[in-house]
């Protein structure tokens, strides 16, 4: 039986041959958040039990140490209790942040916006707790991305099984999605309504969903290669963005 590690070795060999310039979207998010949080007061929204992927634990610890201070907030107590790097953690509702005005320089949300039922409340609260000139950085699925469109057609219970098989993700880490802040149009409207200015938006590709299924990975990598061309930019699976509270 081929191990998961062996399947990933096969995938990376295929990726190097078919799409050599492809990078995992979490790597791009890590670069963005590292540049923004150094020596800053940082709030990580929906922090769960880690900031970065499991294999980036050392880099995550260095990221947190480089801040002035880091605070994580999440509603799931079990996830907060297992968090591996942020020591200042709060259980709370993202739509009613338990912090004073202008408490932070940077707020971040890594794969969180898609789960927001009322994103306008969250954006307004983030704007409130950011100091003037503070930034809100996020990484989230694109509602028009191929993987999101497929996921929206699947009921919740098969998603749990698929996340376990394809991503080795535990069932308690799979949450309902709403996709109400997952297009550039939605995000621009939310920014306008809550007083943010758009610094930048990027639609990006990422590694294949079927990385551990080699026959499907080949087809998906070829599709990803096509998405990297400008005409297909709007269908890329993930979004990166930075908003700013005006000075």
Give how far Cα 225 sits from Cα of 12, 23, 40, 228, Å. Answer: 15, 12, 37, 5
Q: What is the pLDDT of residue 163?
A: 52
Q: What is the pLDDT of residue 155?
A: 66
Can you give the residue ranges of every domain in the chain? 4-244
pLDDT tens sequence across 182-191? 999 999 999 9
The mean pLDDT value for 34-55 works out to 96
Say yes or no to pLDDT of 161 above 70: no
- % pLDDT > 90, the chain: 86
What backbone torsions phi and psi does residue 246 show, to the nearest 5 degrees? -60, 150
Decide yes or no: CATH 3.50.50.60 for domain 4-244. Answer: no
Least confident window among 33-42, 165-174, 182-191, 209-218 = 165-174
What pTM was computed for the model?
0.91
Average pLDDT over the chain reads: 92
pLDDT tens sequence across 83-99? 999 999 999 999 999 99
Q: What is the pLDDT of residue 4?
A: 84
* Residue 216, number of CB atoms within 10 A of its CB: 13
Q: What is the pLDDT of residue 223?
A: 97
pLDDT band at 166, cuts 50/70/90? low
DSSP the chain: ---HHHHHHHHHHHHHHH-TT---HHHHHHHHHHHHHTTSEEEEET-TT-SS-GGGHHHHHHHHHTSSEEEEEES-HHHHHT-SS--EEEE--TTS--S-TT-EEEEEEES-GGG-SSHHHHHHHHHHHEEEEEEEEEEEE-TTSHHHHHHHTS-HHHHHHHHHHHH---GGG------SS-SHHHHHHHHHHHT-EEEEEEEE--S-TTTTSHHHHHHHHHHHHHHTSGGGGGG-SEEEEEEE---
Q: What is the pLDDT of residue 40?
A: 98
Q: What is the pLDDT of residue 153?
A: 74
């Amino acid at each position: 039986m081929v191990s998961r590690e062996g399947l990933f070795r096969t995938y990376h060999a295929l990726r190097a041959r078919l799409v050599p310039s492809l990078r995992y979207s979490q790597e791009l998010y890590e670069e963005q958040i590292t540049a923004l949080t150094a020596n800053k007061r940082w709030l990580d929204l929906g922090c769960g039990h880690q900031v970065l992927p499991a294999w980036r634990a050392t880099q995550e610890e260095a990221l947190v140490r480089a801040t002035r201070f880091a605070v994580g907030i999440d509603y799931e107590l079990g996830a907060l209790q297992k968090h591996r790097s942020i020591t200042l953690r709060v259980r709370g509702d993202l739509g009613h942040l338990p912090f004073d005005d202008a408490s932070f320089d940077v707020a971040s949300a890594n794969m969180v916006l898609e789960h927001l039922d009322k994103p306008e409340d969250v954006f307004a609260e983030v704007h409130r707790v950011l100091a003037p000139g503070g930034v809100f950085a996020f990484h989230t699925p694109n509602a028009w991305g191929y993987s999101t469109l497929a996921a929206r057609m699947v009921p919740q219970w098969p998603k749990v099984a698929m996340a376990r098989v394809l991503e080795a993700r535990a069932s308690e880490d799979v949450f309902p999605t709403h996709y109400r802040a997952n297009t550039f149009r939605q995000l621009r409207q939310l920014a306008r309504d809550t007083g943010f200015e758009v610094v930048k938006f990027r639609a990006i590709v990422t590694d294949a969903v079927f990385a551990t299924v080699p026959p499907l990975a080949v087809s998906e990598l070829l599709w990803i290669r096509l998405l990297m061309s400008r005409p297909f930019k709007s269908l890329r699976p993930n979004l990166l963005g930075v908003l700013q509270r005006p000075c």
